Amino acid sequence: MTATVSRPVRRRLRSLPWSALKGIVLAAACIAVIIPFVMVVSTSLAAPDQVNAAGGFVLWPDHPSFDAYEAILSGGTVTRAVVISIGITVVGTAVSLACTATLAYALSRPGSFAHKPILLMVLFTLLFSPGIIPTYLVVDQLGLIDSWWSLILPVAVNAFNVIIMRAFFMDLPPDLIESARLDGAGEIRIFLRIVLPLSGAVLAVVGLFYAVSYWNSFFNALLYLNDTSMWPLQLILRTYVINGSPLGTDSGSSEVAQLPQQSLQMAILVLSIIPILLVYPFLQRHFAKGVLVGAVKG
């Protein structure tokens, strides 16, 4: 009886060093992720003297100030870029969700027209991308150069998201759809009244994927938008951080000229992070369920 009781105790004692080691590793990983984010926010709020004394980056501001944010949001380039990015993200996510959901539902129905050829075409795009030059030529021929639609239409449908949503639709109870069809409902009514209300988890996850992609995208804007007044926030951030170029009217006043370049850079970076941080908590409860869609089942 004594040996039986002591074995679990010994196992727990042996597992204590391993648990402590895992805790230390996880704590170090969390610190490595949190400290850069804190430095970005602190540098954007720090006073110019403290930023210059610290050599460009501040871990904690002594006297927080919003001068950098007031400078970049004073009605110039960054303010316009924020509005453009929000518009592109909202419209692009809505268009992408509509196209992806309708295509995925059609591919999830075995009797739909040209089901297998279209599915093979979708899978083909996962293996082979068209390339930059052919895509640019198509966008140019469609007259989308210097148009915000050039940032939405070429990437409106992602094959990976189509496969995820198709797998979710195929897992829906077929008896529910058949009973609706027997009651006289058409495919469009079934899709809008039955399928979509039951697909909140996958729509939230795929919508988050699309929103993050649209919000963080800058390369397509660099290719297709020659007018700098149409640039989204991420391209303004890239240009300012990498090239150190001025922000147009944002750098015209003497107060802005006195601010350190690092403070302005970090303030723009914080503005580019905030929208995703605000949206993600509302979608987090759907994320765990949605990312498991399409998993291999036994």
Range of the domain at 15: 2-54
pLDDT at 6: 52
Mean of the per-residue pLDDT values of the chain: 81
Do 184 and 158 fall into the same domain? yes
Any idea what the CATH number is for the domain that residue 202 is in?
A: 1.10.3720.10
257 lies in some domain: yes
pLDDT at 288: 58
Task: Answer whether 226's CB lies under 8 Å from 150's CB.
Answer: no
Do 91 and 172 fall into the same domain? yes
Mapped onto helix, strand or coil, the DSSP state of residue 129 is coil
pLDDT of 251 strictly over 50: no
Q: Which tokens belong to 26?
A: 């996880």
Do 166 and 45 fall into the same domain? no
194 lies in some domain: yes
172 lies in some domain: yes
pLDDT of 287 strictly over 70: no
Do 110 and 11 fall into the same domain? no
| Of the candidate ranges 8-22, 132-146, 166-180, the one whose mean pLDDT is the lowest | 8-22
pLDDT band at 84 (very low <50, low <70, confident <90, very high): very high
pLDDT at 293: 53
- How many structural domains comprise the chain? 2
Q: Give the integer Cα–Cα distance in Å for 189 and 197.
A: 12
164 lies in some domain: yes
pLDDT at 93: 94
pLDDT band at 249 (very low <50, low <70, confident <90, very high): very low
Do 186 and 262 fall into the same domain? yes
pLDDT of 75 strictly over 80: no
pLDDT > 90 fraction of the chain, expressed in percent and rounded: 20
Q: Give the integer Cα–Cα distance in Å for 2 and 8.
A: 11
| Of the candidate ranges 26-35, 189-198, 216-225, 278-287, the one whose mean pLDDT is the lowest | 278-287
* C-alpha distances in Å from residue 76, one per residue of 122, 236, 250, 296: 42, 12, 5, 51
Do 45 and 87 fall into the same domain? no
Q: Which of 2-6, 113-117, 161-165, 259-263 has the highest mean pLDDT?
A: 161-165
| For the chain, counts of helices (H) and of strands (E) | 14, 0
61 lies in some domain: no
Do 177 and 97 fall into the same domain? yes
| Of the candidate ranges 16-20, 222-226, 246-250, 289-293, the one whose mean pLDDT is the lowest | 246-250
Do 24 and 89 fall into the same domain? no
36 lies in some domain: yes
pLDDT at 29: 92
105 lies in some domain: yes
Q: Give the integer Cα–Cα distance in Å for 64 and 61.
A: 6
Do 183 and 241 fall into the same domain? yes
Do 105 and 34 fall into the same domain? no
296 lies in some domain: no
pLDDT at 204: 86
Phi and psi angles of residue 244, each rounded to the nearest 5 degrees, phi first = 65, 25
Do 19 and 80 fall into the same domain? no
pLDDT of 252 strictly over 50: no
Do 89 and 219 fall into the same domain? yes
